[in-house]
Amino acid sequence: MCIKKMPLGISVMIAFLIAISLFEKFGSSQVEIPSSSPTPYVFTMIRPVDNWNYTRIFCKEHEAIDMIDNEGGLNIYAVADGQVILVSSVINGYGNRIEIKHENGFISTYSHLSRVLVKKGQEVIAGSVIGLMGKTGDATGVHLHFELIDEGVKINPETYFAD
């Protein structure tokens, strides 16, 4: 069974409520609040597939999303600016695979590609065509297996799509 994870907005609200509670408990003399705190980095992504539809969603048993293009397109796009850190065809049934490291440290992965159009070390921008959808590795049909990784942990990419 797939269970949705807590949306980022709810996590931020909980943290805010905890901060207010601590402020009320200890008062302003015990809480140091910087006058100009840095703006947090906001990470948003575009979808890696045009005219997308999910064939499988993110859940405990499948920590990725599988997507197809409803109109038969094959282009796979970089979801955000970054550097290609891996291009491989031999990783545990993923087939042809690309990994891109982004400015915030997240890694996006694109698997089962029929063709890879980038090289390791290449800088890409959001929307760059990086490969073509396929069914390499253990895939049973043409689709994109997309993962988002934060410090070694697979996270739900849906939280970060701009649309």
* pLDDT reading at 19 higher than 80: no
pLDDT at 125: 97
Percent pLDDT > 70 in the chain is 72
* pLDDT reading at 133 higher than 90: yes
* pLDDT reading at 50 higher than 60: yes
- The model's confidence at residue 38, banded by pLDDT at 50, 70 and 90, is very low
CA distance 57 to 119: 29
pLDDT, tens only, 61-96: 788 899 888 777 899 999 999 999 999 987 778 999
Domains and CATH numbers, the chain: 52-160 (2.70.70.10)
In sequence order, which residues have a C-beta less than 8 Å from that of residue 69 and are 6 or more positions away?
49, 50, 51, 52, 53, 75, 133
- The model's confidence at residue 116, banded by pLDDT at 50, 70 and 90, is very high
Q: What is the pTM of this model?
A: 0.72
The larger pLDDT score, comparing residue 145 to residue 39, is at 145
